[in-house]
Amino acid sequence: MSQLQINEVAPRDGLQIEARFVPTADKIRWIDDLSATGLARIEATSFTSPKAIPNLADAAEVVVGIQRRSGVEITVLVPNLKGCERALACGVDEINLVMSASDSHGLANLRMTPEQSLAQFETIVAKAQGSGVFVNASLSTAFGCPFEGDVPQERVLALVERLLGLGIQGVTLCDTTGMADPAQVGELCRAVTARWPQTPFTLHFHNTRGMGLANALAAWQAGITRFDAALGGLGGCPYAPGATGNVCTEDLVHMFERMGVATGVDLDALLAVSAKLPDLVGHATPGQVVKAGKADRRYPMPQRG
C-alpha cells in the first residue's frame, strides 16, 4: 500500500456545483481515466434527489457504467436511506454519509441539525450492515462554520465518538469553506489519531484562502494518510461565493511525491486527465501544476541578442 491514499472527489464534490450538466458518457469516460492513474478511491457521484442536484441525476448509470479496477475503491455520497438503497443496488465499495458539525450549516445544506443527521445515520447503517460495503461519514464544518464561526474541537470529538458508536467505520473531517489553518489542523488530527488510532480518518480541505496544501502538510505531519482532493481544484461552496475549490488533486500528489511520500498515483497520467478538464466543464480550473509543469520541468536557456 502507498503511504498516502487519495480519494478523488471531483466527480461528486466538483460536478455538483458546476453550471452545466456533464453528459453521462463523458462522466464515465472521465472516471475511467481517473481510475487508471492509481488513485486509491474515487467518489463517483451522489445518490441524492435529481431535483436537489440535477448535475448528478445520473448516479446509477454512472456507477454501473464505469470500469471497476482492482485497487480503486468506488465510493458514493448517500444523503438518506433511499440513497443508500439505490447505492447498494449498484454495487459500490463504500458509502459516504454527510452531516454538519454546526447546526446552521446542517440546516442550510441538508435541512437537518446534527442530531437529526445522527438519527438518520442509524437507519442507514442498519441497512448497510451485512452488505460488505464500507460506511464512511463526512463531517462538514469540522474546522469552522461560515455562518456560526468557530466550531469547538470538543464538539467535533464528541460527534466523531457518536459516529463511531453508530458503527460507522471511517470519518472524514471536512474544512468545508477553507477556514482551517495548519495549527488547528495539526491539533485536531493529533487528537483524533491519538484517541482512535485504528479508525481511518480522511482530511478534506478547500483552498479558499490558499492554505489547502499547508493544511494537508500539517495533517500528514500529525499522522493522517488519507486525503480528499478534486482534480483541477474543482468544487466550492454555494454559501461562500468567491471561494476557490477543493484542494487540487494533482497539486497535492505533486507536493507529496516531491517530498518522497508515495501516493501510488501516476502523476503524469493524472496531469493528462487534468489537462482535458477545462473542456469537460467548460471553464479554466485553478490547479497550478498542470499549468506550470512539475517542479522537475527544465526550461531552455534564454537566447541573448
Span 276-305, contacts to a second copy by CB under 8 A: 287-289, 291-302
Does residue 209 bind a second copy (CB under 8 A)? yes
Single residue of 1, 260, 279, 305 touching a second copy by CB under 8 A: 260
Does residue 190 bind a second copy (CB under 8 A)? no
**Catalytic residue of the set 84, 145, 189, 237:** 237
Span 136-175, contacts to a second copy by CB under 8 A: 144, 146-149
- Give me 187's grid cell: 491539533
How far is the C-alpha of 93 from the C-alpha of 43, rounded, in Å?
Answer: 10
Span 76-115, contacts to a second copy by CB under 8 A: 104, 107-108
Residue whose CB is less far from a second copy, 32 or 181: 181
- Give me 208's grid cell: 479558499
Helix or strand run (H / E) with residue 135: strand 134-140
Does residue 126 bind a second copy (CB under 8 A)? no
Single residue of 184, 202, 225, 285 touching a second copy by CB under 8 A: 184
How far is the C-alpha of 89 from the C-alpha of 66, rounded, in Å?
Answer: 15
Does residue 211 bind a second copy (CB under 8 A)? yes
Look up 237 and say whether it is catalytic: yes
Residue whose CB is less far from a second copy, 96 or 141: 141
Provide DSSP, 35-69. Answer: HTTT-SEEEEEE---TTT-GGGTTHHHHHHHS---
- Residue 271 half-sphere exposure, CB side, CA atoms within 13 Å? 14
Residue whose entry in the numeric block shows the C-alpha cell 495539526: 186
Locate all alpha helices (DSSP H) within the chain, ordered by sequence. 24-35, 59-65, 81-90, 103-110, 114-128, 153-165, 182-195, 212-221, 249-258, 267-275, 277-281, 289-292
Size of the site for a second copy (CB under 8 A): 54
Does residue 264 bind a second copy (CB under 8 A)? no
The residue ranges that bind a second copy (CB under 8 A) are 104, 107-108, 144, 146-149, 178-184, 207-214, 216-218, 238-240, 242-244, 248, 251, 254-255, 258-260, 287-289, 291-302
